[in-house]
Chain A
Amino acid sequence: MIEVKNVDKSFDGNQVLKNVSAVFETGKTNMIIGQSGSGKTVLMKSIIGLHRIEKGRIEYDGRNLPDMQMKEIRILRREVGMLFQGSALFDSLSVLENVMYPLEMFSLTTYEEMKERAYFCLKQVNLEEKAFGLAPSEISGGMQKRVAIARAIALQPKYLFCDEPNSGLDPKTSLIIDHLISEITHIFGITTIINSHDMNSVMEIGENIIFIENGEKAWQGNNKDIFHVDNEALNGFVFASELYKQVKKANQ
């Protein structure tokens, strides 16, 4: 479980996060949603420790991140997997080597065992074996996302972060990626935090949703409650598209 308590963060005097508190539960797909510029990416990067916060606590199962030294943060990060918006696969390595990379860096197993684990992770994300030897630039965006997920889970992380996992993907592939993340979260009991503004994802897999508005937590709930909330900003976000307006009408 990750707990964020009274977090403030500003850049050059501009306060981006204002007293944000939230709980991200283990074994659930936790989502941070909000409009562009609302502060959700800053919140996620603060939770991971890529931004140093000015005030508050970020507790990874009781371990407060802001109190940690760089060395301790590095050790903690070995328990973290991350799926980047652009996949962030290493260009110079093949698909298989990308997944093996964290294993080679941090596990003490033999090469064969590492390869076996990498194969397992790649099979877990339904990637065909013929793609294993290809370079990241030779596979599609959806496949790159799958490889990135496989790499993120290679070291059996306790915490998985996904930054806009569906950006640049078609609706069908987005759905596959969403279900993959959800499945992995439940199978391995991971604390997953997804940063997204894709309402389809929210409706599909949002078990614990935090809505950020102007750097403040404006609402927290799940994908069942989100349609029935009396919050103007949230409604403006959720029902921005014609499709969801129709869904709302149909529900009424």
Chain B
Amino acid sequence: MSLLSETGKYFLLMERVFVLPDRQRMFFRQFPKELEKLGLQSLPIVIIISVFIGAIMTMQTKLNSSNPLLPTYTTGLVTRDTLLLEFSSTIMCLILAGKVGSNIASEIGTMRITEQIDALEIMGVNSANYLILPKIVAFVVMMPFLVIFSMALGLIGGYGVGLFTNIITTGDYLSGIQYAFVPFYVFYSVVKSLFFAFIITSVASYYGYYAYGGALDVGKASTNAVVNASILVLFFNILITSLMLN
């Protein structure tokens, strides 16, 4: 019953979010700020994690596949497909659910408990639309770039292993990442990430918007936002994968 009522509340909030903004210029003023805050400020974590995971994946694949019958391009191929299919979209989104989700939930939650949202409502502003819509649109717009960037950096991380260690040669690695490339995987990954971006921002906004009490409750709302957004990302990952790859 609680799940049902929470889901209903979420959709009612979304109904208020997805309407034309009262003042479009206010939306377009907020939108670049959100692009910067949610997208560009996520770049450092995307860079660090992608490069290191790409490198680790290459090392692990090579070190755990010592069978001489396996072709030399296997490591590059496995690294590339793992990055393209799951890491750069799903795992990266789970990480971003932590960063962006908690950021949104705590920001909106703080505005709620300090009566800033009430102030907007009293002014006659559709606070859900004004606060949440730019965040959702900005993150959905930024996500494909972050995903493609993560893919490229992951591959560079793997290349670094060939360059700086004796585990794999750069030649083997490069031939592996070019072998049997399926461009659809990139499309699939980007499509998934768009859904995930929506889930992360909307779920986090929901928990922030309905936060009540004090600082402790904002913390709880933030935790709930991250946990539930992550679960939904994983659930939709299975759903979208079975729809797109079957």
List residues of chain A with CB under 8 Å of any chain B CB. Answer: 48, 50, 73-78, 80-82, 84-86, 88-91, 101-102, 104-106, 155, 161
Contacts and interface: CB of A to CB of B under 8 A. Distances in A.
Contacts of B122: 48, 50, 77, 80-82, 161
B123 A88 contact: no
- Interface SS, A side: mixed
Contacts of B23: 104-106
Contact of A86 (B115, B123, B125): B115
Given A105-B23, A105-B26, A88 B115 contact: yes
Interface of B: 22-23, 25-26, 110-111, 114-116, 118-119, 121-126
Contacts of A76: 124
B124 to A, nearest CB: 4
A106 B124 contact: yes
Contacts of B126: 74
B95 to A, nearest CB: 25
Nearest to B119: A88
Contacts of A86: 114-115
A76 B126 CA distance: 13
B121 A88 contact: no
Contact of B118 (A75, A88, A90, A104): A88
6 closest A-B pairs by beta carbon, nearest first, are: A77-B124, A88-B115, A88-B119, A74-B124, A78-B124, A82-B122
Contacts of A88: 114-116, 118-119
Contacts of A105: 22-23, 26, 123, 125
A74 B26 CA distance: 17
Contact of B116 (A90, A102, A106): A90
